[in-house]
Amino acid sequence: MTTANTVNTAVDPAELGTMVLLAWTGDPAEGHDTPYLVAYSLGDGTGGGEAARAAAATMIEELGLTTGDVLQDRTREGTFPVQLLIQAGQAVLTMPHMNAQCPAPEEWLAAAEERGTVHFMIAARPWPEARPGTALSEEVLKSFLGDEAVLADTAHVLLPVSRLRG
């Protein structure tokens, strides 16, 4: 579930459309157990896919991020408007323009717990085929997030994991 935040911004949430959050890990059998989390638009905003892409690119810029193959480390002290909380098997993301949560697979939760960080991505390019509640095969995931053009329009951030203290 996603809700919009009210912030002073050039990003029009109506142009972004539905923002979705998806958690997965690499293949541990291949020694690749990084926990990934991606936020993307379905491209169903008022102006369609191109308007959603422009709004997402503006959002990335307003967060002080760049797109491409650079992983920006936000695990050190300092303020960053994107926060990740893991609670009750859910990845809970808070950032300007959206608050979202998604169920996380057990292997993702274990990897995030062990590492204390998550590789977070914000895709500027809409992904209308990846609707919530629809199962995604590994091939579909790889075809979108492994596409060089998609990666060139994606911000990559290393986020620290927060947990509620009990």
pLDDT of the residue at 4: 47
Separation of alpha carbons 52 and 49, rounded Å: 5
Task: Name the nearest CA neighbour of 36 among 161, 149, 125.
Answer: 161
- Of 75 and 10, the structure prediction assigns the larger pLDDT to 75
Mean pLDDT of 83-89: 93
Q: Would you say residue 129 has pLDDT above 70? A: yes
Average pLDDT on 121-145 reads 91
How buried is 6 (Cβ within 10 angstroms: 0-12 exposed, 13-18 middle, 19+ buried)?
A: exposed
* pTM of the shown model: 0.89
**What is the mean predicted confidence (pLDDT) over 15-37?**
87
